[in-house]
Amino acid sequence: MRVMVIVKANKETEAGVMPSTELLAAMGNYNEELVKAGIMLAGDGLHPSSKGKRVKFTKAQPKVTDGPFAETKELIAGFWMWKVKSMEQAVEWVKRCPMAEGDELEIRQVFEAEDFGEAFTPELRAQEERLLAEAQKLTRA
């Protein structure tokens, strides 16, 4: 199964404080372990929310708000995608992550196409296929 490991934002990440060399090195080693375990699929850090936007859907036009956003705990500073055998295995890997005191990681299972079941009808699938085809044409152009 695939899981997304979410790195929660904190005051430092929101202030755009870059990690120290030591932390970067430790993180590099950790990532290397993940790669050598063959479970890491992707991973990236995110810029602070001050550079982000939020789009709120209302009855009228969607409303766009510029960052930064409050509620630091609910913001995301980065993520990994892993392919693991079980949630327990994901937890064991997360425990090995070199994080500082107070940091928080969250593990969420990723939906696969079949998880959507009947609701993902052939028509919807066909539509997604068409959209994807167009999107890919754009990215290749």
Partner 1 sequence: MSETHHAIDAIWRIEQAKLIAGLTRFTRDIGQAEELAQEALLTALEQWPKSGIPEKPGAWLMAAAKNRAIDRIRKAKLAETKHAEIGRARDAEQEEALQELEAALDDPVGDDLLRLIFISCHPVLTSDARTALTLRLIGGLTTDEIARAYLQTEATVAQRIVRAKRTLADRKVPFELPRGAELMARRDSVIEVLYLIFNEGYSATNGEDWMRPQLCEEALRLSRILAGLMPGEAEVHGLVALMEIQASRLHARTGPDGEPILLLEQNRALWDQLLIRRGLAALAQAEALTSAPGRYGIQAAIAACHARAARAADTDWNRIAALYDLLAAREDSPVVELNRAVAHSMKSGPQTGLDLLDALLGEEALKAYYLLPSVRGDFLVKLGRHAEAETEFRRAAALTQNARERSLLLQRADACRQS
For residue 134, the minimal CB distance to partner 1 (Å) is: 8
Q: Indicate the DSSP class of residue 96.
A: T
Based on the shown chain and the rule CB under 8 A, indicate whether residue 3 belongs to the binding site for partner 1: no
Based on the shown chain and the rule CB under 8 A, indicate whether residue 118 belongs to the binding site for partner 1: no
According to CB under 8 A, which one of 66, 92, 104, 106 is a site residue for partner 1?
Answer: 92
Q: Indicate the DSSP class of residue 19.
A: P
- Give the tokens for residue 117: 């079941």
- State the Cα–Cα distance between residues 110 and 81, nearest whole angstrom: 9
According to CB under 8 A, which one of 11, 42, 44, 74 is a site residue for partner 1?
Answer: 42
- Give the tokens for residue 122: 């052939």
| Comparison of 15 and 110: residue with beta carbon closer to partner 1 | 110
Based on the shown chain and the rule CB under 8 A, indicate whether residue 112 belongs to the binding site for partner 1: yes
Based on the shown chain and the rule CB under 8 A, indicate whether residue 107 belongs to the binding site for partner 1: no
- State the Cα–Cα distance between residues 9 and 47, nearest whole angstrom: 10
Residue length of the chain = 141
Based on the shown chain and the rule CB under 8 A, indicate whether residue 59 belongs to the binding site for partner 1: no
| Cα distances (angstroms) measured from residue 61 to each of 30, 68, 69 | 44, 22, 21
According to CB under 8 A, which one of 91, 104, 106, 116 is a site residue for partner 1?
Answer: 91
Q: If DSSP codes are grouped into helix, strand and coil, which group holds residue 46?
A: coil
Based on the shown chain and the rule CB under 8 A, indicate whether residue 62 belongs to the binding site for partner 1: no
According to CB under 8 A, which one of 50, 65, 121, 136 is a site residue for partner 1?
Answer: 136
